[in-house]
Amino acid sequence: MISLPYHHKTRGSSLMIVLVVVVIVSLGAYTFSELMFTHNETATLSSQNIQAKWLVDAGIDTARIHLLQNHELRMSAGGDYDNRNVFQAINVIPDTNPNLTGNFTIIAPAIDSDGFIAGYRYGLEDESSRLNLNALVIADTYADNGGREMLMALPGMTVDIADAIMDWIDDDDETREFGAEFDYYQSLGSPYEPNNGPFNTVEELLLVRGVTPEMLYGADINRNGQIDTHEEPARQRVQEILSIANSTSGDEVLNTGSLDRGWSAYLTLYSQENNLNINGEPRINLNSSDLQTLHQDLSSVFDPAVANFIILYRQGYEIVDEPQTDGLPQPASAVEIDFLREPEREITQVLELIGKQILWEPDLIDDEPIDILPAYPLDISLANTLDRLMDNASTSSNPTIPGRLNINQAPRLLLQGVPGLDDELIDFILQTRSIDPYQDQQNYYRHETWLLKQSGISFLLGGVPFTLEDMKALQPFICGGGSVFRAQIIGYYEGGTASARGEVVIDATTVTPRILLWRDLSHLGRGYPLDVLGLQYAGNDQTVLPSIQ
């Protein structure tokens, strides 16, 4: 046996030690580099999550700037309802790498031609297309149990719950026929008092007797306007509740539609309209006490016959159904106005002027009475003059009109609850209306009175006449469009690495549109596929990282 010298053994051992050290150092370096890479990815993702919220803020600012413009400028830019150029995939953080490209999209539920929620669009949601809870008490002043009737349009609503809601917001402690007041809430295990005033949030409904989370929120857990696969169990539960409500209420249930989106998708506290004309100028208050100034204002917009007629009408001259003198009726411009005569009559509705004729009796004995022709005769010519009247005249100087329902965009479900709207008239509205104001370049549907002028003063809907009196009865409940808007904004990276979602209600009745409600919906996920939100840079040949919707 040959023995190696000692120094050769030492050299071999040293080599092994060196190799082990190299391996350990290499593994340490690899682990360190992996750790740094992971930290870098985490830092990048964290940064993108923060930036995604800024993308949502960019969307909010874009919506506010859009609403800062007057009606004409907004329509020339594509409008509010479905405008891909302004609201879809708007790039804020440009980069050729889709994983680093940040956009925002503003998305809203679409309404099909039958008045049902179907799909989505890129734009703002008119808050007046929802039912205003706090305006229900006003509805009671125009129709017997008007508030209850409007609530009964909601799927699964019963008279017990509807009356309990009305008791919650009215200012007394008198229990309605099927309602609940102070005594009921005090008898609960954890007693509390009803509000007896306006709702502060839609979620406050959960305090009202009979209202459950399933009714309020439905099965659309992630608030994207549709039922996804993971929401099917919730849908089944909601359908069971709806079936029970319908079976126990019998004929008292007005609408048996879907509860998928819950009541909250149809309710608001914020809807109102600007009391302005199409140019953004205040409408003329026909009930002004200064008749001379009122006449000047009217003369700047209307012809002399109209301006004089309104002053004579306010001064209380007799309203007649047919001529009272032997002479030919004259336009009001033939009469010299005596501005020293005080107003004796107020106008409750602008439509009150239509078809009215008056008998002018002079103060001087030697002058003869004159039959004054209507300023707005009840004939086919009204279709050409009604819009000018509606756009420039009002019965109040209030800057806004609260709570009416936009018949051009409201779903069928809510139209069914408007007092005075029967199924035939609802079908006519759905078949005739223009949902998108951008498509209505002539502003034909700007005012709710398009119903009146559509076929002149009286038209037949399946044999049912629609008259001026019908329009007067409907007007307190309906409008042609509102001035407060809801926006759901998704900020996202095209690679799917990060996203954020928010919901805002923006009040455009003020000089600078202001935010009335802001909610962070990021915890509900992105909600929509990336191809729906829009991709500016990512293509089929580029890898898009998967992410939770």
Q: Write the pLDDT tens digit of every residue in 181-198.
A: 999 999 999 999 999 999
Do 300 and 251 share a domain, yes or no?
A: no
Q: Same domain, yes or no, for 366 and 343?
A: yes
Instruction: Provide the pLDDT confidence category of residue 325 given band limits of 50, 70 and 90.
Output: confident
Q: Flag whether pLDDT at 447 surpasses 50.
A: yes
Q: Is residue 401 part of a domain?
A: no
Tell me the pLDDT band of 5, cut-offs 50, 70 and 90. Answer: low
Q: What is residue 308's predicted lDDT score, i.e. its pLDDT? A: 96
Tens of pLDDT, residue by residue over 204-242, are 999 999 999 999 999 998 888 888 888 888 888 888 878
**Residues 419, 149: contact at Cβ < 8 Å?**
yes
| Average pLDDT value for the chain | 88
Lowest mean pLDDT among 120-124, 415-419, 491-495, 543-547: 543-547
Separation CA 109–CA 93 (nearest Å): 27
| Domain co-membership, 291 together with 417 | no
According to the model, what pLDDT value does residue 542 have?
Answer: 45
Q: Does 224 lie in the same domain as 164?
A: yes
Q: Indicate whether 549 pLDDT > 60.
A: no
What pLDDT was estimated at residue 539? 55
Mean pLDDT of 99-112: 93
Burial 223-253 (b: 16+ CB within 10 A, else e): bbbbbbeebeebbeebbeebeebbeebeeeb
96 vs 529, more confident: 529
The reply to whether 276 falls in a domain is no
Looking at 248, 270, 292, which one is the last position of a domain?
270
pLDDT band at 256 (very low <50, low <70, confident <90, very high): low
Q: What is the mean pLDDT of residues 436-443?
A: 92
Query: What value does the mean pLDDT take over residues 45-53?
Result: 84
Three-state secondary structure call for residue 465: strand
Q: Is residue 279 part of a domain?
A: no
Written in H, E and C, the secondary structure of 474-519 is HCCCEECCCCEEEEEEEEEECCCCCEEEEEEEEECCCCCCEEEEEE
| 549 within some domain | yes
175 with 201, same domain: the answer is: yes
Q: Side-chain half-sphere of 400: how many Cα atoms within 13 Å?
A: 17
Q: Which domain holds residue 220?
A: 131-270
More confident residue, 486 or 99: 486
Instruction: Tell the burial category of 407 from Cβ atoms under 10 Å away from its Cβ (0-12, 13-18, 19+).
Output: buried
- The answer to whether residue 255 scores a pLDDT higher than 70 is no
Q: Which whole number is the average pLDDT over 50-77?
A: 94
Q: Within this chain, do residues 483 and 539 fall inside the same structural domain, yes or no?
A: yes
Mean predicted confidence (pLDDT) in 26-38:
73
Q: Which of 274, 313, 329, 298 is nearest to 392 (CA)?
A: 298
Helix or strand run (H / E) with residue 372: strand 370-372
pLDDT band at 543 (very low <50, low <70, confident <90, very high): very low
Q: Where does the pLDDT of residue 109 fall: very low under 50, low under 70, confident under 90, or very high at 90 and above?
A: very high
Write the DSSP string, 82-139.
S-HHHHSSEEEE--SSGGG-EEEEEEEEEE-TTS-EEEEESS-EEGGGSEEGGGHHHH
- Which of 343, 371, 394 finishes a domain? 394
Q: Verify that 428 and 509 share a domain, yes or no.
A: yes
Determine contact, residues 484/507, Cβ cutoff 8 Å: yes
Q: Beta partners for 324?
A: none
Confidence of residue 541 (pLDDT cuts 50, 70, 90): very low
pLDDT exceeds cutoff 50 at 323: yes
Q: 495 and 436: one domain?
A: yes
Per-residue pLDDT band for 93 (boundaries 50, 70, 90) equals: very high
Quick one: pLDDT at residue 496?
87
At 118, is the pLDDT very low, low, confident or very high (cuts 50, 70, 90)?
A: confident
pLDDT of 535 strictly over 70: yes
Q: How do strand 393-394 and strand 131-132 relate by DSSP bridges?
A: unpaired
Kindly state whether residues 538 and 494 are assigned to the same domain: yes
The pLDDT score that the predictor gives to residue 545 is: 43
Last-in-domain residue among 227, 242, 270: 270
Q: Is the pLDDT of residue 349 over 90?
A: yes
pLDDT of residue 350: 96
Based on the fold, state whether residues 107 and 220 are members of the same structural domain: no
Q: Is 547's pLDDT higher than 50?
A: no
Percent of the chain having pLDDT more than 70?
89
Q: Is the confidence at residue 455, as pLDDT, over 90?
A: no
Higher pLDDT, 486 or 547: 486
At residue 548, the pLDDT reads 36
Question: Binning pLDDT at 50, 70 and 90, where does residue 89 land?
Answer: very high
Q: Assess whether 62 and 181 both reside in one domain.
A: no
Q: Is residue 106 part of a domain?
A: yes
Lowest mean pLDDT among 118-127, 230-239, 278-287, 502-511: 230-239
Domains of the chain: total: 3
Whether the predicted pLDDT of 363 surpasses 80: no
Categorise residue 196: left if φ over 0, alpha if ψ from -120 to 50, beta otherwise.
left
Per the domain annotation, does 183 fall within a domain? Answer: yes
| CATH number of the domain to which 240 belongs | 1.10.40.60
Question: What are the tens digits of pLDDT across the range 136-185?
Answer: 999 999 999 999 999 999 998 999 999 999 999 999 999 999 999 999 99
Same domain, 369 and 420: no
Cα–Cα dist 65/358, whole Å: 48
Q: How confident is the model at residue 460 (pLDDT cuts 50, 70, 90)?
A: very low
